[in-house]
Amino acid sequence: MIRLTFPTRETLRRLPFTAADVAITIGALALIVLIAYVGSTALVPFQPPDVLPEPISLDIVHLPYYLARSTLRMFIALFFSLLFTFTYGYVAAHSPRAERVLIPLLDVLQSVPVLGFLSVTIAFFIALFRGSLLGLEAASIFAIFTSQVWNMTFSFYHSLRTIPREQQEMARMFRLSRWQYFTKVEAPNSMIGLTWNTMMSFGGGWFFVAASEAISVLNQDYRLPGIGAYVTEAVDQQNVGALIAAIVAMAIMIVLVDQLVWRPLIAWSQKFRNEQSEAGETPTSWLLNLWRAARLPSLIGEALRPASEFVNRALSGTLAPKPAQMAKPRAAAPAWMDWIYNGLLIALLVAGAVVLIRFILSEVGLPEVVNTFVLGLITMARVAALTAIGTLIWAPIGVAVGFNPRLARLIQPLAQFMSAFPANFLFPFVTVALIATGISLNVGSILLMSLGAQWYILFNVIAGAQTIPSDLREMAANMGLCGWKLWRRLIIPGIFSAWVTGGITASGGAWNASIVAEVVSWGDTTLTATGLGAYIANATAVGDWPRIALGVGMMALFVVALNRLFWRRLYVLAESKYVL
């Protein structure tokens, strides 16, 4: 007989608490303390222009604190984004009448450049929270929120509208209450898409947290303690060391959040996969494994069971009238109600148009509108160039990576990391290079905008290439297809819909980035490019409200029009013709 020196897994299980429990408990407590400390410091007095917060210190010792403040902002914004997503998406999916307004509105809202109306919201929130930094805090959080929320909401709404028919029938057959239907059917069905979109949104949010912490409105510089303000300060002082420190800190934070939040969530959400068979390769997370090995969570869960049971029953009781009638065709309300409703909508639209036209004619004048339109065309050319160049560079690389599973496992997380990394941290280096070489920002801004945007093309193309079935690739090799013929017949159709997704995201990101990429500075040197982004940035700096509104409106118009006329059509083509 072999004597066991180490306890077996089974005996370890029998211990009341395992090492995993200790780790989980310590981790949770540490997190709570940290949040409480960082959160409490947000309540400092602030009465511009007399009482201003302490200036940002470039001492590296303060960097972790700034980073923690920025991260806290991100999570607060995430919380509100989720709250908004669940209510807005739920209402839109369940009320046909609300849907008719909410979904087009969402479409427009997601096209509005977030950074453009940051100045408007800052003024509003400062007025709301007089005498405290909370106003700036709220404005920054609001900026992050608006950058995160739209595609989360779309994802949730889409999941609710595509719940498998047999699950709907089963739920009605067994007469689940609305609450039960939400918790047992709707929320689980939306979980995979929502987790993924939340992760992507959160990654994109870093860009906006950095941009919104330091902003000039009405010739007044506002700085919130945070890593974005730190970077801005470093640029002002031309401190390259501090810049590099910020970049490293940011990279560590992105990896940390990924490991502690997103990996576990993604791995956990796999249980909501709607296919009945085990997926080939499922994402894993060491933290989730630790959590599952620990006994404490399940013990607490068991202890709370009666309470959750009580809550469930109470909510089921109050929300019982899950439609007892037959499934009616959607929008079966009397026709006259629809007439009134549609009439109201049309009246609102007409009123809005009148206000808009009066505003344009009285405040800015028609020539200014034409001017912004031309500027919009210039910025659009930059976005188009960026998308084209990004595609030419990254599509072949992405396909090569996607066809090689081992390489893909390595590169894919890297591409996602790069897309989450706030590109504005890298702007100063490019700015220095531009100043040194004397290249105009009119060209250089394309590079700046693509620093953040191009990665969406890369990792979507990788994902697209991975979905091309290997038997089709073998067939192509067997037929002797190679070079351009292979691309034309197999690869381009195969990656097309993934590329469209990447392209939309990249160009949307680039429009937003243009506001910070068409005006850059290094120390006292400021470079300005001709374009709509620079127009908005300059209007914001001097607090010219009509021009801010005009610029933002024009940009939103461009984005909506491009989405409708260009990307939407490609999408339809991808869905109908190139679906694998």
Partner 1 sequence: MATALMNDTKTPAMDRNGALIRTVNVFKNFELPDGNGIFTVLENINLTVKPGEIVALLGRSGSGKSTLLRILAGLIPASSGDVFSSGRRVTGPNPDVTMVFQSFALLPWLTVQQNVELGLEALGVPLKERQARALKAIDMVGLDGFESAYPKELSGGMRQRVGFARAFVKQPKVLFMDEPFSALDVLTAENLRGEISDLWEKGDFPAQSVLIVTHNIEEAVYLADRVIILGANPGRVRGEVTIDLPRPRDRSARRFKELVDGIYIAMTNPDRDVTAAMAGVLPRRETPYPPLPHATVGGISGLLELLNERPELRDLPEISSTLQLATDDLLPIVDAAVMLGLAEVRQGDITLTDNGRAFATADIQTSKDIFRAQLLERVPMVKMIYNTLQAKPNGSMRAGFFLDILDEHFPREEAQHQFETAVDWGRYAELFEYDRGEDRLLLPVEASELTD
User: Using CB under 8 A as the criterion, which residues of the chain lie in contact with partner 1 when the complex forms?
Assistant: 166-167, 169-170, 172-177, 180, 184-185, 188, 271-278, 305-306, 309, 312-313, 316-317, 323-328
The DSSP line for 375-430 is HHHHHHHHHHHHHHHHHHHHHHHHHHHHTSHHHHHHHHHHHHHHHHS-GGGTHHHH
Nearest partner of 115 among 426, 537, 443, judged by Cα: 537
Between 325 and 362, whose beta carbon lies closer to partner 1? Answer: 325
Q: Which is nearer to partner 1, 119 or 177 (CB)?
A: 177
Which DSSP symbol is given to 487? Answer: I
Least distance from C-beta 168 to partner 1, angstroms?
A: 9
Q: What is the DSSP letter of 523?
A: T
- What tokens appear for 490 in the block? 């197999």
Q: Which amino acid is at 116?
A: G
Contact present, 525 and 488 (Cβ < 8 Å) = no
β pairing state of 525-528 and 519-522? antiparallel
Q: C-beta of 193: minimal distance to partner 1 in Å?
A: 14
Name, in order, each residue with C-beta under 8 angstroms of 214's C-beta and a sequence gap of 6 or more: 221, 222, 223, 224, 228, 229, 231, 232, 233
Minimum Å gap between C-beta 169 and partner 1 is 6
Min separation Cβ 334 and partner 1, Å: 18
- Which residue lies nearer to partner 1 by CB, 302 or 474? 302
Question: Which residue number, 314 or 381, has a Cβ lying nearer to partner 1?
Answer: 314
d(CA 550, CA 536): 9
Q: Residue type at 75? A: F
The residue (of 59 and 166) whose beta carbon lies closer to partner 1 is: 166
Q: Which is nearer to partner 1, 10 or 166 (CB)?
A: 166
Q: Which residue, among 379, 401, 391, has the nearest Cα to 445 in the 3D structure?
A: 379
- Least gap, CB of 409 to partner 1 (angstroms): 24
Nearer to partner 1, 102 or 185 (CB): 185
Q: Which residues of 105-120 are buried (b: 16+ CB within 10 A; e: fewer)?
A: ebeeebbbbbbbbbbb
CB of 181 to partner 1, least distance (A): 9
Least distance to partner 1, CB of residue 329, Å: 9
Residue recorded with tokens 């007892």: 324
Length of the chain counted residue by residue: 580
Looking at the Cβ atoms of 97 and 184, the one nearer to partner 1 is 184
Nearer to partner 1, 316 or 521 (CB): 316
**CA dihedral of residues 411, 427, 420, 580 (deg, nearest 10):** -60
Q: Which is nearer to partner 1, 174 or 336 (CB)?
A: 174
Closest among 366, 420, 383 to 533, alpha carbons compared: 383
- Which residue number, 306 or 480, has a Cβ lying nearer to partner 1? 306
Shortest separation between residue 112's beta carbon and partner 1, angstroms: 36
As measured in angstroms, the least distance from the Cβ of 39 to partner 1 is 34
- What is the closest distance, in whole angstroms, from the C-beta atom of residue 466 to partner 1 in the complex? 22
Q: Give the nearest distance from C-beta 96 to partner 1 in angstroms.
A: 18
Nearest approach in angstroms of CB 166 to partner 1 is 4
CB of 306 to partner 1, least distance (A): 8
Q: Is the peptide bond before 413 cis (omega within 30 degrees of 0)?
A: no
**What is the rounded distance in angstroms from the CA atom of residue 453 to the CA atom of residue 476?**
32
DSSP secondary structure letter of residue 280: S
If you write DSSP's letter for every residue of 533-563 in order, what string do you get?
Answer: HHHHHHHHHHT-HHHHHHHHHHHHHHHHHHI
- Exposure string (b/e) for 10-27, b if CB count within 10 Å is 16 or more? eeeeeeeebebbeebeee
Q: Which is nearer to partner 1, 180 or 387 (CB)?
A: 180
Contact 456, 509 (CB under 8 A): yes
Closer CB to partner 1, 129 or 272, in the complex: 272
Question: What string of H, E and C letters represents the secondary structure of 231-275?
Answer: HHHHHHCCCHHHHHHHHHHHHHHHHHHHHHHHHHHHHHHHHHCCC
